[in-house]
Structure 1
Amino acid sequence: MPIIKDHADKSALVTAFADHIAGLIRDAVASHGSASLVLSGGTTPADLFARLDMIDLPWDKVYLTLSDERWVDLDDPASNEAMVRRTLSGAVAKGATVVGLKSVGGTPADGLARTSSRLATMPRPYDLVLLGMGEDSHTASFFPGAMGLSEALSGALGLAVAAVTPAGGVPARITLTLPELLRSRAIALLITGEKKKSVLDAALQPGPVEAAPVRAVLHQDKVPVSIWWAP
């Protein structure tokens, strides 16, 4: 079962988690020469990254990518990659490598092979996969009822990424597949608020993955999972 790390408030959570990630980066660089992280979009991760950016680390040996991305360009406000580059601007300036998921093509399906090839430059296994969770129980771009969910969970195409279109149709997304997320030493789920805690509690119970896709991460036994939560 995942380990749940409770914090008094969001500020305490962000500070503690940033320190944890900093220690993980230092240990990874010391043990195998680089650190490789998969990051998540969202407001709380943005605050976390801004705090992490203030810590002196060997950023020139750090590789960063995203768990998923809307199929939008870098200049779009909805771009997760743009958020990472903005909140970790100091890290990027010091040499951190950011491997984006958005590539050429009109749709995510058009860019899958190119993005998968780009991700091959990331050191594996990932030292940390950081995920969020929505109030609909999605994580990465594993949305209930989404077109492409089955391929994203199974990795049936044999690529690191899959194309997913949430119910409603927009925006189309590209996501690391579940097998790719599990090519990691550790997974951390970052959530805040009582409502999401209730969603999490339900997802920790047995049930179909398709109804609550975060279960695909919570109920696997290949990679240890920690849950970082604050009200």
Structure 2
Amino acid sequence: MQPTVHAFEDNQALAAALSARIANDLRAAIAARGEAWMAVSGGSTPKRLFERLSHEALDWSRVTVTLVDERWVPDTDERSNARLIESLLLRHNAADAEFVPLYVEAATPEAGIGEVRTRISAMKLPFDVVVLGMGPDGHTASFFPGGDRLAEALDPANAAQVLPMRAPGAGEPRITFTLPVLLKARALYLHIEGADKRVVLQHAEQSGSQLPIASVLRRASHLDVYWCP
């Protein structure tokens, strides 16, 4: 499957376009099912997107937001993706949205996985919207090269919805949704910025690529890539 690539001059134009697209997806989900479920990525790339999305006019009280993956740190830590969501997305119009964090108060993701799975079991999947990111090493979600549970996380036959993940390039231990869960999203987006990441994506599109993002490209039935230099 070849993804649909939407290219923009800068991140401001990208954020405006992707924010509008996501808002339409959420409105459609609310109209169809009375609620909407969205999973987003952390990191530095989506900051402008979150700021823009927080102003979109829709019934945010019917929207539940969670994360594609999370570093195993509390939201008091500046590395926390939950902290990013709470400070940039869950304000203005979007302040009425419900947020479901993936981190729980346990020493390790392995110790907390049971509680996380209980939280996930209350979600009404599939997600209406999933927004993925990608690192320069080709990772997406917490599917890192060399990850201790990478094969399990990418396995299309794996029934687990979330897994712990540890990898040399991951920094902290992580918790991540598995690929099968993410691929079932009604709308699946990949948000990347910079010429270097476009090159990484082109490498991932090549036959035989072992980059984790290549698994998304190979198995997704639909994928919209939003990119700017």
Q: What is the DSSP-based 3-state SS (H/G/I as helix, E as strand, rest coil) of the residue aligned with 1:38?
A: strand
Gaps of 5+ in 2: none
CA distance in 2, matches of 1:128, 1:46: 17
How far residue 168 of structure 1 moved from its aligned partner, in angstroms, is: 5.6
RMSD value over aligned CA atoms? 1.7
User: Aligned letter for 2:24?
Assistant: G
CA contact (8 A) 1:22 1:52 kept: yes
Query: Is the 8 Å Cα contact of residues 141 and 177 (structure 2) preserved in structure 1?
Result: yes
Tell me whether 186-195 or 175-184 shows the greater mean CA deviation. Answer: 175-184
- Residue 92 of structure 1 and its aligned partner are, at CA, apart by 8.0
Distance 1:13 1:33, change over 3 A: same
For residues 44-59 of structure 1, the aligned pairs below 5 Å read 44-59=45-60
Partner of 1:178: 179
One-letter amino acid of the counterpart of residue 220, structure 1: R
TM-score normalised to the size of structure 1? 0.93
Q: Deviations over 1:42-66 (max 9, x none)?
A: 2221210111111221000001110
2:224 is aligned to 226
Equivalent position of 1:159 in the other structure: 160
- Structure 1 gaps of 5+ residues are none
Contact in 2 for aligned 1:38/1:66 (Cα 8 Å): yes
- Is 1:112–1:162's contact at 8 Å kept on the other side of the alignment? yes
Give the deviation of 1:93 after TM superposition.
6.7
- What is the CA–CA distance in structure 2 between the aligned matches of 1:195 and 1:159, rounded to whole Å? 33
Query: What SS does the corresponding residue of 2:219 show, helix, strand or coil?
Result: coil
Residue aligning to 1:35: 36
| Change beyond 3 A, Cα 1:77–1:3 | same
- 1:15-164 superposed matches below 5 A: 15-90=16-91, 94-154=95-155, 158-164=159-165
Amino acid at match of 1:227: V
Q: Does 1:207 align with 2:205?
A: no
Cα deviation, residue 157, structure 1: 6.7
Contact 2:158 2:180 in 1 (8 A): no
**Matched residues in 2 for 1:23 and 1:16: separation?**
11
- In the alignment of these two chains, the number of paired residues is 228
Q: Structure 1: how far apart are the matches of 2:226 and 2:14?
A: 7
CA distance in 2, matches of 1:90, 1:164: 30
Assess if the C-alpha contact under 8 Å between 2:144 and 2:169 holds in 1: no
Deviations, residues 4-35 of structure 1 (Å, cap 9, x unaligned): 11111111101111111111111111111111
Which amino acid is the alignment partner of residue 60 of structure 1? S
User: Could you tell me whether the CA contact under 8 Å between 1:85 and 1:92 is conserved in 2?
Assistant: no
Q: Is the Cα–Cα contact under 8 Å of residues 56 and 93 in structure 2 kept in the other structure?
A: no
| TM superposition score normalised by structure 2 | 0.94
